[in-house]
Amino acid sequence: MSEEIIKPIDVMNNDELISVLTVHKENFNDEYKKKVVDELVKRGVNLEEKFKIVKYKLNLEDVEEIEVTAAHEKISLLKNPIDVIYFINYMNDSFAIQKNDGVFVIHHNTPKLGFSSFFLDSETELKNSLNNFLTLDQWLPEGAEVIEHWETFAESTSSAYILRLAKLMDEINLSYCINSAHLVRFNSFNSPYSIIVPADVIDEAEEVLLKIDELKENLHEELEAAEKKEDIDLQLKILLELESVTPEDPLVYYNKAQLLDEKGDYQNASDALIESFNLEMNNGTVDDIEDIENYLVEVVDKVENKSNILHCLATISAFKEDTDSSFEYCNKIIALDENDAVAHLQLGYHYYSNTEDDEKVKFHFKKYIELDPESAEREAIEEILKNI
C-alpha cells in the first residue's frame, strides 16, 4: 500500500480517498478500492463531477476554468515555441505544453516532486496523455523518456534571437525547450530568455551557432550594399534581421535610430537609440551620452509616448549625478502614468537619500511594492520602511 496513505478509510479526507482510486490505484487491491468507493458514495462525492472542470492558462494570462472535454481545443493556441499552455488538475499538479516545429515539449510539475519533462511527436498521444493527467490516470505515455539532464544552450534578453535559434534547431531536427517569463522550467539562467537542450545533443547544437555567424556575415554584406544605394527602407529591413541575430550589438540599434530619424519617425528612432544606450550601459562603455541626452530632449515633445524617453533621461541624469533633473523626470513620468512602478521606486530612493520627508519615502516605496510585489528590491525597501 502507499506509504502516503496509512490512516483508516473513515478518517481520510476526500482528496486522499480520490487518490486511492486514481494516482495511487496501483498500490491497492480491488477489495480496498471498493471500500473507498463506498465511503465516497456515502459522503456524496461524485468523481465524474470532480473531473468535469479543469483550470488552464495561456502564458501569463489569468487562470480560467473550462470543461475537460474542451481542453484539447486549447492546444491550437500554441503559436510559437515561447508560448506555453498550463493545465492544472484536481490535485493541483500542472501539465505545461510547448510546441516546437515537429514535437511537443511537456513539463509536468507537482509541488512535492518538482518538474519532469519529456517530448511527444504525436498530437494524438499528447491529447491522450493530457486527458489521463486531468482525470488523475497514468499520464506518462509508454515509451516516453523523461529528460534527466538538460544544458543551457543560449541565453538572451531578446526573444527574437531565441526564436531565431529555435527555427534553426527545427531545421536540423533538434528538440529543445525555451525558458521565458511564460515558463521557468530551470532557474539557472540569467537572462529573460534561454533555450535548453538535452545534454546529449549539446555538441550537435553548436552547428546552429555556426549558421548564425554565417547569417550575420551575409546580412552585413547586404547592409553595405544597401548603404551604397542609399536605400533607407532596405537598410531598415536588414537591420531588423540583424536585431534577431546580434541582439546585444548597440551599433545595430544606433544605426537604426539614425535612419528612422531621417524618415522623421521620432518615436521609433528614440526607442532604438534608447535600446543602444541601454546595451552600452550594460557593457559599461557609454561614449556619447551627451549626444543621446540632447537628442532625447529635442524629440520628447515630438512623440506621443514619452515615458520611454523620460525614463532614459532620468537614468542619464542619475548617471551624471544630476539628482534634481532625475527627480524632475520621474515626476513627469508619474504625471503621465501614476502607476509607473520604476518611477515610484526612483522617487522613493530620491526622497530617502536627499530629504527628510519620511511620508514621501513611505508613499513611493509602498506604491512600488503594491505595483511590483515580486520585485527583488522588496526586501531592501521593507527594511528601509521599518527603520523610518
The predicted pLDDT at position 376 comes to 87
Report in angstroms the alpha-carbon separations of 286 from 183, 293, 330, 341.
Answer: 33, 12, 22, 26
Query: Are 252 and 246 within 8 A, CB to CB?
Result: yes
The string of DSSP codes covering 24-67 is: TGGGS-HHHHHHHHHHHHHHT--HHHHTTEEEEEETTSPPEEEE
Beta bridge partners, 108, equal 95, 116
pLDDT beyond 70 at 356: yes
If you average pLDDT over residues 253-275, what whole number do you get?
97
How far apart are alpha carbons 267 and 238 in whole angstroms? 20
Which residue has 540599434 as its cell numbers?
Answer: 253
Question: For residue range 339-352, what is the model confidence (pLDDT) as tens digits?
Answer: 999 999 999 999 99
In this structure, what DSSP letter does residue 115 have? E
Query: Which of 122, 123, 126, 124 minimizes the C-alpha distance to 96?
Result: 126
How far apart are alpha carbons 257 and 263 in whole angstroms? 10
Query: Which of 242, 272, 246, 274 minimizes the C-alpha distance to 260?
Result: 272
If you average pLDDT over residues 30-52, what whole number do you get?
90
Of all residues in the chain, the percent with pLDDT exceeding 70 is 97
Question: Is the overall model pTM greater than 0.85, yes or no?
Answer: no
The predicted pLDDT at position 5 comes to 52
Give the three-state DSSP class for 196: strand
As given in the structure block, the three cell numbers for residue 7 are: 490512516
Which residue has 533538434 as its cell numbers?
Answer: 174
How far apart are alpha carbons 107 and 170 in whole angstroms? 19
| Plot region of 176 (φ>0 → left; ψ -120 to 50 → alpha; else → beta) | beta
The predicted pLDDT at position 1 comes to 43
In sign, the C-alpha dihedral spanning 72, 73, 74, 76 is positive
Query: Are 59 and 84 within 8 A, CB to CB?
Result: yes
Confidence of residue 44 (pLDDT cuts 50, 70, 90): very high
The predicted pLDDT at position 189 comes to 61
pLDDT beyond 90 at 388: no
Counts of helices then strands in the chain (DSSP H, E) = 15, 9
What is the distance of C-alpha 168 from the center of its chain? 21
Summary mean pLDDT of the chain: 92
The predicted pLDDT at position 286 comes to 79
Confidence of residue 114 (pLDDT cuts 50, 70, 90): confident
